[in-house]
Amino acid sequence: MSKQDVAPRVCSLASALDVVGEKWSLLILREVFYGVRRFEGIAHNTGAPRDVLTARLRKLSDSGVLRRVLYSERPQRSEYHLTEAGAELAPTLLSLLQWGQRWVPAGPRAGGAFVHDCGQRLHTFLACQACGRPVTGGDLSLGGEPLAVAPPEE
């Protein structure tokens, strides 16, 4: 098989990762979700190099995930706010955070737990909208073909 015959699978996951799949992009979104909207605060809390942070903020804004809001004309300064598309990433970020807490136990921990407005500690999971059952991966098919998700180890 030649290199010309090899083509990556086209899918919306690859498209999404083109926008938010870089480490700094996800950490920027974390900060904006936490209410940190100014460049200096985002830079401090992520540790991103300034040039990389500038590029990622521009990409997230150009992609419609963040919206720049001018708060000072002299010098010109902006805050970054979530758009509707950005806000829809909250469950994804929460799921990644929860996955990290479970499967990367040696990693650093954020202080406190997320609490839902019902008053209970939040535990995210994906459920089928039609039947309400949790989605495990092993219960999915794509085009009639089951996905290759191994059953949990016992």
Q: What is the pLDDT of residues 66-113, one digit of tens each?
A: 999 999 999 999 999 999 999 999 999 999 988 888 888 787 776 678
Flag the least confident range among 70-74, 118-122, 140-144: 140-144
User: Per-residue pLDDT for 1 more than 60?
Assistant: no
Give the tens place of pLDDT for each residue, 35-52. Answer: 999 999 999 999 999 999
pLDDT of residue 76: 92
DSSP conformation class of 3: G
**CATH numbers and ranges of domains, the chain:** 11-103+114-146 (1.10.10.10)
* Coil vs helix vs strand at 145: strand
Q: pTM, whole model, 2 decimals?
A: 0.84
The DSSP call for residue 38 is: B
Give the pLDDT mean for 8-18. Answer: 89
Q: Where are the alpha helices (DSSP H) in the chain?
A: 12-20, 23-33, 39-46, 50-62, 84-87, 90-103
